[in-house]
């Protein structure tokens, strides 16, 4: 049996204020083509289908078109909810979906598989929707559900108990932080608080393969426990991470292999660093004109209107960060101490500039302007 493992579509998410729906549509169309070309039997979407609990109408249209395309390509589709999804909104139309498309959002369905058969017999797919401990502990009053770890461990206990009775090959699907992952700062959020919500790898023992979601980069925690990551880049921190999905094969005995299938990247992400003049004029940056650009300019002082100026060269410049180089280290002086040490108006201005510039006072040109202004003011006061 061939299984395509994908996750974290985040339909409706923006990228630094720019809509991503059209780009994601193209990527998901490519994914549908991969399903057809590789004769995939089952597609698993491991959570965070939508980016918010209240997606716009166009997001539902993209999801419907993609699920229909995957089904038309010959695959059984199994979707679980993630921490960004509203389980109610994602699952409200599940009863109306065509045969072969399953949306798992009900916590009480944990431990009840969706069974798909091939020539070697049944494969039981156990979908685990995102389990918020505070919202689901009343469903299992005898379980001590205080964290994601305890919720996943309880759910996997139900999976193993059912599997022991059924026998056969199996796949589990979950959306969580698992121990050993390399997360992207500021991207994967709202699940982990300290170390309490990190799920140990041993929690997933039992199934032949475990398809995880929530981490946006491809990761292999063991031969049979993997993250597929998001199909689209949603952060510059993800820029060096490939986009794609795992093509997993099960033979008669269980897990046989996993192969990575790359997805197209609609627009590259690059981080450019240099002075503002270098970013605006240096030919070494010319090839990045059509990329999403994070510009880090290193001038000692903030420059006027950098975003507008950079977008004239890089139309897809999405963010500008001032990261000065060569700034003198902290001399330990507070602003008040700098002021008290000033012996003239010029030194007072220099003390202010040094404070707001993390140690850099007036440049020679600025100091000359300051002296001219002070001298002119002194002359006016003397003749008044």
Superfamily for 2-262? Metallo-dependent phosphatases (3.60.21.10)
Of 99-103, 125-129, 229-233, minimum mean pLDDT range: 99-103
Predicted confidence (pLDDT) per residue in 162-203, tens digit:
999 999 999 999 999 898 776 665 555 555 544 457 899 999
How high is the pLDDT of residue 85?
77
**Section 363-378 average pLDDT:** 74
**Of 39-53, 103-117, 367-381, minimum mean pLDDT range:** 367-381
Average model confidence (pLDDT) for the chain?
A: 87
Do 227 and 213 contact (CB within 8 A), yes or no?
yes
Please, are residues 105 and 94 in contact by the beta-carbon 8 Å criterion?
Answer: yes
Q: pLDDT over 70 for what percent of the chain?
A: 84
CB distance 52 to 190 below 8 Å:
no
**pLDDT of the residue at 238:** 87
Dist CA 366 CA 82 (whole Å): 55
The residue that leads in pLDDT, 100 or 370, is: 100
| Res. 372 pLDDT band, cuts 50 70 90 | confident
Q: What pLDDT does 87 receive? A: 65
pLDDT in tens, 122-147: 999 999 999 989 889 999 999 989 88
Which among 249, 232, 285 has a CA at the least distance from the CA of 25? Answer: 232
Query: Is the pLDDT confidence value at 93 over 70?
Result: no
Residue 298: is its pLDDT beyond 80?
yes
Are 212 and 83 spatial neighbours (Cβ–Cβ below 8 Å)?
A: no
What integer pLDDT is reported at residue 195 of this predicted model? 46
DSSP-derived 3-state class of residue 19: strand
Percent of the chain exceeding pLDDT 90 equals: 67
Domains of the chain by residue range:
2-262, 269-322, 335-383
Which one is predicted more confidently, 180 or 327?
A: 180
Question: Mapped to the 3 state alphabet, what secondary structure does 225-290 carry?
Answer: EEECCCCCCCCHHHCCCCCEEEEEEEECCEEEEEEEEECCCCCCEEEEEECHHHHHHCHHHHHHCC
Closest to 44 (Cα-Cα) out of 19, 16, 74, 75: 75
Residues with Cβ within 8 Å of 210's Cβ and at least 6 positions away in sequence, in order, are 171, 172, 173, 174, 204, 224, 225, 226
Residue that wins the pLDDT comparison between 234 and 366: 234
pLDDT tens digit sequence for 25-64 = 999 999 999 999 999 999 999 999 999 888 899 999 999 9
For residue 334, what pLDDT band results from cuts at 50, 70 and 90?
A: low
Lowest mean per-residue pLDDT among 20-29, 155-164, 341-350: 341-350
The SS3 of residue 178 is: strand
Q: What is the value of pTM for the model shown?
A: 0.82
What would the pLDDT profile of 238-284 be if each residue is shown by its tens digit?
888 899 999 999 999 999 999 999 999 999 999 999 999 999 999 99
pLDDT higher than 80, residue 318: yes
């Amino acid at each position: 049996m061939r299984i395509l493992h994908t996750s974290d579509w985040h339909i409706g998410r923006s990228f630094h204020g720019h809509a991503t729906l059209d780009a994601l549509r193209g990527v998901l169309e490519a994914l549908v083509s991969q399903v057809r070309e590789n004769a995939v039997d089952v597609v698993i979407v491991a959570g965070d289908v939508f980016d918010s609990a209240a997606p716009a109408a166009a997001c539902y249209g993209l999801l419907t078109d993609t699920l229909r395309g995957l089904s038309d390509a010959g695959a059984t589709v199994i979707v679980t909810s993630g921490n960004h999804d509203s389980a109610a909104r994602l699952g409200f139309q599940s009863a109306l979906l065509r045969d072969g498309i399953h949306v798992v959002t009900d916590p009480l369905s944990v431990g009840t598989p969706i069974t798909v058969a091939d020539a070697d017999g049944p494969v039981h797919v156990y979908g685990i929707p995102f389990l918020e401990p505070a919202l689901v502990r009343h469903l299992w009053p005898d379980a001590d559900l205080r964290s994601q770890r305890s919720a996943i461990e309880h759910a996997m206990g139900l999976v193993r108990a059912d599997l022991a009775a059924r026998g056969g090959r199996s796949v589990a699907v979950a959306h969580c932080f698992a121990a050993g992952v390399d997360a992207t700062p500021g991207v994967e959020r709202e699940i982990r608080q300290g170390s309490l919500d990190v799920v140990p790898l041993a929690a997933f023992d039992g199934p032949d393969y475990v398809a995880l979601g929530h981490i946006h980069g491809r990761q292999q925690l063991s031969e049979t426990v993997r993250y597929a990551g998001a199909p689209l880049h949603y952060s510059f921190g993800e820029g060096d991470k490939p986009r794609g999905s795992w093509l997993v094969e099960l033979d008669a005995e269980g897990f046989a292999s996993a192969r990575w299938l790359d997805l197209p990247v609609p627009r590259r992400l690059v981080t450019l660093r240099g002075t503002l003049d270098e970013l605006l004029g240096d030919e070494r940056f010319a090839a990045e004109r059509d990329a999403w650009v994070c510009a880090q300019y290193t001038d000692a002082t903030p420059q006027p209107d950098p975003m507008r100026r950079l977008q004239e060269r890089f139309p897809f410049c999405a963010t500008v960060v001032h990261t000065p180089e060569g700034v003198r280290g902290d001399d330990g002086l507070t602003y008040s101490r700098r002021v008290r040490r000033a012996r003239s108006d010029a030194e007072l201005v220099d003390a202010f500039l040094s404070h707001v510039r993390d140690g850099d006072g007036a440049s020679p040109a600025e100091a000359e302007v300051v002296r001219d202004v002070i001298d002119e003011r002194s002359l006016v006061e003397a003749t008044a």
